[in-house]
Structure formats: C-alpha cells, structure tokens
Chains A and B, each alone.
Chain A
C-alpha cells in the first residue's frame, strides 16, 4: 500500500540546509497497524505529512496504492487524499459552526465516490462510537474524547483504506486515550490500515508493528 524509497526531506533556512528526513525506506502493507514513534523533532510528523500526501519529499520515490505520487498535481493529490486517507489530529479540528453529524459529512462534499445515503451512514458511525445522543451537538458541547470520536467518524465516512492519526491521544487523559486506541484496534480488525504517529511509548502496545524514528532515520522496525 505504501512504499517509500530513500525519502529525504530538507528545509532551507537562508542558505542553510536543515535535513529532517535522511533517507527513509519503509513499506507498509494493507491491513497493518503501525505505530510510528519518535520524540519531538525526530521527523515523524514530516514523515506522516509525506505519507498523507500533505507534503512532498525533497528526494526519493513514493508509491501510494500502486501509484507513483511524485509528479501529481494539486487536484489529483486532493482526490487521492479524499479517496484513500482518513486523517485524525491531536486537536480534533472539528469545524465550530457545524454540528457533529455535519462535521462527519465534510469529506462527502469533496467525494467522488458514490457513497449511498451518507447521512444515514454518518449516523450509524456516530452510533457505533456511542455518540447517538450527540449527533446535533456543536463541538464546544462535546468532551475531548467525544470530539475525537466524531473526528474518527469523519475519517471513516468516505470509506478510506488508510487511517492516518497524528498524536490522536495527545489532548486526552490516559483513560480516554486508551479508549481511542482501542477504537483504532477495532477498526484495524475490520480491515483498515492504521498508522498512528506518537511520541508516547505507552501507545506502542496497541499496534502490531512499531517503527521508531530517530533523528530523521528509522532506528527500529519490529512487530509487537
């Protein structure tokens, strides 16, 4: 599903080149549950952005679902993100003027897939995550854990193959965080490919594979 070959990424500050990723080789297959671990500044978020087609590498090749994405334009990339990836963020990023179900439906506005009865589907998803009473609540009326579950429902509505989560438990207490990780485990059992990016070593045990990033390179890649 994901094949990264010698991926390098540098930022330029004036004339100075700041290498963030120093040659990443990584293959992630369909149905895996990978925890991408690294301390702040290790390059893990940059790697996630490249995997999520939100950023482009400076060097190297990236194949995503059997397509080389290196030369794709904005529209094609937007399409691929919409079709194949569901994002989950630390700060949830729900839109304040929409209620829970409307937030879940955001990807549908841009979707080219033929999702049948998206509203019913959004309801079912929210129900599955224990939010049937919260469907018409605005984000400010929801707890952190509830907001994150709405965000996960949003990630799933367009039936992507990959869930990409960046510090999904970072803004939650550890009990709620564990519940969210259990939810990912459940989704993985249902067949979704999951990548969770985190600095928190406690989350390692939830995944099936641990990839540790240190100083822009993979230092450990083991099954857990």
Chain B
C-alpha cells in the first residue's frame, strides 16, 4: 500500500498530527512526562553502569590481574573504618617466601602530617613505600623521578609529592631540589607526580611518597607494623590467596574459627564489587524505569482510548474523504510514537544534564555513549507502539457512518 503519493502529502500529514498533539496537549503532557522519566532513568542506569565498569576495568588494569593486597585489620574493623596495626614487617618477610610471589610492595602510611614550605602549610598523608610503588600504581612524573635504592637503604630524607601537594605548597614554583618540612624532618623534593584526579575526587593526588625506611624510622617511630602489602603472583590467584591467608593466620596465632585480623583483596574483588553495585543499580533504577514506562504507556493508551470517542467525527470525516483503515491506524500510531519519541529525546537530554551534575556531586563516573541513545530511542519507540496499537486498531475499526451519525 502506498499511503502517500507525494512528499507534500506526507508533510501535510505530519503537520496535522503535530496540530492534533498540540490541541490535546493537556493529555499529551501526562504521557510525555512519564516517558521522559522512564527514559531518563534508563539512560542514567546505562551510563552509570558503563562508567562504573570502565572505572573498575581501569583499576583492574592498574592493579594488575595478578595482584593481591593485604591490609591490617579484619573485615569488621575495616567496615567500621578502623585501621588496626596487625600486619607486621615479619609477616611481609614470610609472605615473600610464599610460592609464586615474584614482587612485593610494602606501604606504611601516616595521616595528617603537616608539610611546610616557606610560609605555607599543608596537611596530608605520607606514604612510606618501597620503590616499586610508582610502577605498580602506573604513576608517571611531571618532574624529577623516584628515589634510588641507596636512598631507600639509607633512609634518606627525600620525597615525591602529589600534584595537589605541589599546588598547595609551590603553586607554579619549581619544586625539585627544594627542601620542605615533613613533620619535623627537612626533606628534599626529588619528584612531582602527574595528576591522576578524575573520579577519585583528587584524594589520590593529595599525598607525599617517601622511602618506607625513612617514614618508619624518621617520621613515625614504627618499626613493627605495615599498613599494607601488595603481592604479585604468577600462580593461580585463588590458590596464592589461600596460602597467604594460611601464613598470616599461623603468624598471628589464629586458630579454629577465629576471624582473620587482616583483609585480603584482589583485583577480582573489585570486579565483583562493581558487579554487585551494577546489579543493585540495575534492579532499583531498572524497576523504576520499567514502572515509569509501563505506567506512562497505560496512561497514554487510556487517554488515547478516551480521545477516540471524542474524535469519532474526526475519524468519520477522514474516512469519508478517502482515508483507509490503514491510514487511520497509521496516523494514530504515529501520534503515540511521536509523543514517546519526543519524550525519549527529552529523557536523553535530561540525562545528559543530570548525568553531568551527578558526576560532579556524587563522584559517579558516567559513560555516555551512542548505545544509550539507541537503547533509549528503542524503548520509547516500543512504548509508543505498544500503547498506541490498541487504540489505533479501535480507531481504524470505526465505521464512517457510525462516526458521522454520532
């Protein structure tokens, strides 16, 4: 069936439908806003999940798929945001001998240490670490470089500063070779790190990294404990984790069903965590958006249904003047699809605006992609077709004489 012979007829048809929608705008706005909300939440879901996945992938890659991290303190203490010193230097030495371990990074971090340069003060975290810290964080330098093995062995007072610390203490001044006070220790700046920033909210750039030996012997007097140890293994991750756990439990004298007083994390946990987050997000927002779309679909269908009674004469006149059943069917379908389509576009635009705000406010990474647009348009199209179909069918079945008589 050829519905229109000429482009001008199609244009006339589309213009008429737009005028109809304007005429019934009071009703249209209801269905329209429902669709907008539904599509908005779909967009937010997809962008957030994509963003979280991308972020997780980045962390996973940065960490390396063969990494195991051990923190002091059990799961419960960590959950309560307590940091217990239970991880000993001697534990690390034992762990180094676990089968398959080929690399180890030891970290002791001290919080709220005051930095001074000239008249400027800045409180930050001091991370004492082995030399492989920068490589394992895949962190490059703006200027200078990492401390040497001899710096490490001799506990030299040298430091590498994060981008945030550089900004606070030096502004645009050259920092290399300058001496700052770390706590009470005059320390030479030998490197400035590149800014990582991004979704971490800048926390990561607010730190000073020094040789572990310097921190534990000259800044804090802490020779027994570590905050964190990172291991790399070329064996199976799960098996290595089992061994690591066994070594630590033995060292800490934990028997039977006593809880671990340490926490082991691997890159797998991070991915699992993201999966859980995405899953719950999908569940809540997904339900919300489906409900919004279904409700707006029903509202649309019902309002349409009611309108048909009122528009019987309209239909009758069009039929008398040559509209076929199919023509009526298509024009009603087109109306509902137009509503949901515009609703969908509004939802997408809104999600772009809100998404940006979310990103800034809540530190949620958003990945806006072409996929989102396709999904959203598909969903709004489907809503339009499904809710418009029944009313449109009914409209097309109205006999012209029935309509005109009424």
Interchain CB contact (< 8 A) of A98 among B13, B19, B324, B326: B19
- For window 1-49 of chain B, which residues contact chain A by CB distance below 8 Å? 1, 4-5, 8-9, 12-13, 16, 19-20, 22-23
Kindly identify which residue among A78, A93, A109 contacts B13, using a CB–CB cutoff of 8 Å: A109
Of B126-134, B136-144, B221-229, B310-318, the one with at least 4 CB within 8 A of chain A:
B310-318
Evaluate contact between B320 and A81: CB separation under 8 angstroms. Answer: yes
Dominant SS among interface residues on chain B: helix
Structural contact, B322 and A110, CB atoms closer than 8 A:
yes
Please tell me if A136 contacts chain B, counting CB pairs below 8 Å.
no
**The one of A49, A97, A111 that contacts B322, using a Cβ cutoff of 8 Å:** A111
Assembly CA distance A111 to B3 (angstroms): 10
Which among A75, A87, A89, A108 is the interface contact of B12 at CB below 8 angstroms? Answer: A108
- B350 interface hit (Cβ, 8 Å): no
Does B400 touch A at the CB level, under 8 Å? yes
Question: Chain B: residues with CB nearer than 8 A to chain A?
Answer: 1, 4-5, 8-9, 12-13, 16, 19-20, 22-23, 313-314, 316-327, 399-401, 404
With most chain B CB atoms within 10 A of its CB, the pick from A52, A55, A78 is: A78
| Contact B400 A54, beta carbon cutoff 8 Å | yes
A53 to chain B, nearest CB (A): 9
Q: Assess the B318–A97 pair: CB atoms within 8 A.
A: no
- In the assembly, what is the distance between CA of A91 and CA of B327, in Å? 24
| A93 x B316 contact (CB < 8 A) | yes
With CB as the reference atom, state the residue of chain A lying closest to B4.
A109
The answer to whether B1 touches A82, judged by C-beta atoms less than 8 angstroms apart, is: no
Query: Can you list 10 A-B pairs, Cβ within 8 angstroms, ordered by A?
Result: A78-B324, A87-B317, A91-B313, A109-B9, A110-B318, A110-B321, A111-B322, A112-B5, A118-B8, A158-B321
A105 to B12, CA, bound (A): 9
A107→B5 contact, CB < 8 A = no
For residue A54, give the distance in angstroms from its CB to the closest CB of chain B. 5
Q: Which residues of B contact A89 (CB under 8 A)?
A: 404
Scoring A78, A109, A111, A112 by chain B CB atoms within 10 A of each residue's CB, the highest score goes to A109
Closest beta carbon of chain B to A49's beta carbon, Å: 5
Q: Which of A52, A97, A105, A106 contacts B317 (CB 8 A)?
A: A106
- Least CB distance from A199 to B in Å reads 16
**A52-B320, A54-B319, A110-B322 known, 5 other contacts, Cβ within 8 Å:** A87-B317, A106-B321, A109-B4, A110-B9, A111-B322
CB pair B23 A78 closer than 8 Å: no
User: Is A182 in the interface zone, CB < 8 Å from B?
Assistant: no
> Nearest 9 CB-CB pairs, A to B?
A82-B322, A97-B23, A110-B322, A107-B321, A78-B324, A54-B400, A97-B19, A93-B317, A87-B320
**B313 pairs with A93, CB closer than 8 A:** yes
Q: Are A74 and B322 in contact (CB under 8 A)?
A: no
* A108-126 to B contact mask, C-beta < 8 Å, 1/0: 1111100000100000000
Residue A146 is within 8 A (CB to CB) of chain B in the complex: no
Q: Which residue of B lies closest to A50 (CB)?
A: B401
Check if A95 sits within 8 Å of B314, measured CB to CB. yes
Chain B residues lying within 8 Å of A49, measured Cβ to Cβ, are 401
Which B residues lie within 8 Å of A74 (CB)?
324-325
Most chain B beta-carbon neighbours within 10 Å: one of A54, A74, A154? A54
Contact residues in B for A106 (Cβ distance below 8 Å)? 317-318, 321
User: What distance in Å separates the Cβ of B280 from its nearest Cβ neighbour in chain A?
Assistant: 47
Minimum distance in angstroms from B313 CB to a CB of chain A: 5
From B13, B313, B321, A87 is in contact (CB under 8 Å) with B321
Which residues of chain A (125-171) have a CB below 8 Å from chain B?
154, 158
- Would B320 and A54 count as touching, CB distance under 8 A? yes
Q: Which residue of chain B has its CB nearest to the CB of A106? A: B321
The minimal Cβ–Cβ distance linking A189 to chain B, given in whole angstroms, is: 24
**Contact residues in A for B325 (Cβ distance below 8 Å):** 74
